[in-house]
Structure 1
């Protein structure tokens, strides 16, 4: 199916009943005059129901960086290991990783770590790009670091480091990295175009992320940021030079190593396919997560004011509780957004898995606002079936 809305052509297909999603996708692109290029994929009960793309240089199998949507892939691995009984979320991190106990962190549990309550948002002296690309380096630097708040007492988004911290627990328990386990248990069996470490041969399909451009009439104020603030620290803005998040993901070493906080590369199909595999039978394979695991994964483990972003937020077991963002979703919906505007989630109650990518950085950051419209269109389609 190909359609044109003004100067924007929408490519792809939708299953019967999802025509309204395609119309909304076209309307979103027509309204966003920055023409970022984007992809949208939706699975229903394990089958691909929406597969759309549009924009400059973007195909259905293009592989953009997905920033923090990577955290969903990383913490799906952790959920599998908890389900296997290999990791106990109520044991302390230090019981698996003794060096972590330094500077008063010995009592922090794995469950609290997954809810961004460790207080280890950054390391003194900052990180180079090469260091941030390597989860083992991040973990080693932070193991002996002093937390920015009492561990377990508060919540603050560990934007660029959480995957390295949870990943070191995985490594200490299994002797393997999150990237290796994700490849073996999730990506390869389902043939997903979602990579925690992009192979060299797939580089031609990578589409570079571009800086954000305000839409006509959009005011994006650059407020002065205290370099000592948690926000400046957690996003690397306080170091000299400040971290450039666009240049960071467009660097080959980052894509090659696939740091599990922000370094994933994948299509909307890959994101949605991962969440479909988590909750549904796909290609004759049973769901990756059992019902009891899904209930725990989607349960809110921390609700309160984020010390880093200042927003009131809800965190599940390593995932965002996305039902608080999109009210039409069922209880227990879980997923993770990414800074360029990507969004991906599972809605177990309705059998829906959603993936969205965006090539141009959405301002001011986080999940692009059009996800509200697109997610609502998906929910309307499902409700009418």
Structure 2
């Protein structure tokens, strides 16, 4: 099936899921450049969609997934809460004594995970190599004055939330968040989603690609005149000189090697969808990671009102982004280049989408709305949702 500049859509879908392939092919054909994209969907632990398209992207091509990584990091936290290792109502300082001053000592773990700390960055920011080291970032933030009183508001901690929660994980378990993820989630379930790319997988890695906007896109953005909150550049490490380049960040060898838990993951769509399938349904005979009560808790709204960084509304559950287009029980996370992963216990669906070529203007790519609608409609037609 033809696509952008003759790009072919490859892969398979299960019977009844053909509309998803058709929607995927339609968006690829409409793109100015090949998006270098992958799409995978599981239902009740069974893979029903496995598609990819690109001049230089195959089914197993690995690349940076940006904040889709946060889904893996928050799943680690959810598991440790479920195990009783972490207590959401305890102050962060009970685990991390250095996390004090300016109201930080009163912040609970629940508030931290739901982006309420006010520690979106340091005043100086971090370079790429520094951002790759979660422990270094956490130490810098522990002495930073918050940008608002902790626990009184929320704002997207774009490049640091994994360092903050990861330090709590390290203090409580003696293991890094990345180590817990590898031992409890990635390796047992065979997921192609890494926080720290192993040497044996390097041959499958390909860099994230930039997409320069057209004059028409820039003009439309200017005409929209949407002003971002003043904290947006701080949270995205753009208050440095020169500002941080998102493409350079994802492709930086130290970021790739260490896998910072906020946005440094490397993976495929199969890996992203598999993560969420493992969370709610299990994979390959292994049980679901989350009990139904835990899955309900991570999806429950935690942040009413506007986000101080992005201006979005009612954005987060327990760390995970709420999936308003899917349903109230769904949870997941998007990534800067356009990727998205989510799980919906109501339908048993786990969704993973990646693109190596940045969509304009960045953030969750608009095609996800159409792909999600096609997935949900195919699921509806396949049978009544599991309740």
Give TM class, smaller chain: over 0.9
Aligned 8 A contact 1:123 1:145 in 2: yes
Quote the Cα distance in structure 2 between the aligned partners of 1:124 and 1:108.
Answer: 20
Aligned partner of 1:63 in structure 2 is 62
**How many angstroms does 1:201 deviate by?**
2.2
* Contact 1:34 1:215 (8 Å CA) reproduced: no
Q: Find the aligned partners of 1:222 and 1:247 in 2 and give their Cα distance.
A: 25
Which secondary structure does the structure 2 equivalent of 1:379 belong to? helix
Contact 2:338–2:364 under 8 Å retained in 1: yes
Listed one character per residue, the Cα deviations across residues 283-310 of structure 1 (whole Å, up to 9, x for unaligned) are 1111000011111011111121111112
- Identify which range, 259-268 or 280-289, moves more after superposition: 280-289
Report the TM-score when normalising by structure 1. Answer: 0.95
> Does the 8 Å CA contact 2:40/2:51 hold for their aligned counterparts?
yes
Partner of 1:309: 310
* 1:222-253 deviation digits (Å, cap 9, x = unpaired): 79999992111110111112111100111111
Q: What residue number does 2:254 align with?
A: 253
After TM superposition, the structure 1 stretch with the greater mean CA deviation from structure 2, 217-226 or 112-121, is: 217-226
CA distance in 2, matches of 1:333, 1:126: 33
**Which residue is equivalent to 1:238?**
239
Q: 1:222 to 1:135 in 2, by over 3 A?
A: farther
Q: Indicate conservation of the 8 Å contact 1:34/1:213, yes or no.
A: no
Report the counterpart of residue 49 of structure 1 in structure 2.
Answer: 48
- The reply on whether 1:280 has 2:281 as its aligned counterpart is yes
Q: How far off is 1:346 after superposition?
A: 0.2
Q: Is the 8 A contact 1:330 1:350 kept in 2?
A: no
Structure 2 residue 145 is the aligned partner of structure 1 residue 107: no
User: For 1:106-145, what aligned pairs fall within 5 Å after superposition?
Assistant: 106-145=105-144
Describe the shift of the 1:228–1:358 C-alpha distance in structure 2 as closer, same or farther (beyond 3 A). closer
Measure how far apart 1:330 and its partner are. Answer: 3.2
Which residue is 1:332 aligned to? 329
Structure 2 counterpart SS, 1:356: strand
- Alpha-carbon distance in structure 1 between the residues aligned to 2:229 and 2:332: 30
1:107-186 equivalence runs, <5 A: 107-186=106-185
Q: Give, in whole Å, the separation in 2 of the partners of 1:310 and 1:80.
A: 30
d(CA) in 2 for partners of 1:239, 1:195: 28
Assess if the C-alpha contact under 8 Å between 1:32 and 1:215 holds in 2: no
Matched residues in 2 for 1:157 and 1:247: separation? 21
**Conserved 8 A contact 2:228-2:311:** no
SS at match of 2:102: helix
- 1:343 aligned to 340, 343, 346, which one? 340
**Corresponding position of 1:204:** 203
Map Cα deviations across residues 190-229 of structure 1 (whole Å, 9 max, x no partner).
1110000001221121121111233684336479999992
Cα 1:214–1:228 shift into 2, 3 Å? closer
Contact 1:33 1:216 in 2 (8 A): no
Match of 1:321 in 2: 322
Native 8 Å contact 1:227 1:233 kept in 2: no
Q: Distance in 1 between matches of 2:229 and 2:272?
A: 35
Aligned to 2:351: 354
Q: Does 1:4 align with 2:2?
A: yes
Alignment of 1:3-42 (within 5 A): 3-5=1-3, 7-42=6-41
Shift of 1:139: 0.3
What does the per-residue CA deviation read over 1:335-366, in whole Å, with 9 as the maximum and x for residues that have no partner?
A: 00000000000011000000000011111111
